[in-house]
Structure 1
Amino acid sequence: MLDLFAGCGGISLGFQAAGFRIDAAVEIDPIAARTHALNFHGHEPPEVLAQHARSRDITSVEPGEVTADLGLGDPERAFDVLVGVPHAKLTPGSGAPSCARWQTIRLPTRLIRAATCTCVTCTTSG
Structure 2
Amino acid sequence: MQKRSYTSPTPWNEIRRRCLSLRSPDSDDRRRCSLNPSPDCGGRRRCSRASLYRLFEQRGLSVGEHIRAVRLNHGRALLRDPRLGIGDIALRCGYDDLSAFGKAFRRRFGMTPRDWRMMIDTAGGA
Q: Same fold (TM over 0.5)?
A: no
More strand by share: 1
**Larger radius of gyration between Structure 1 and Structure 2:** 2
Q: TM-score, normalised by structure 2?
A: 0.30
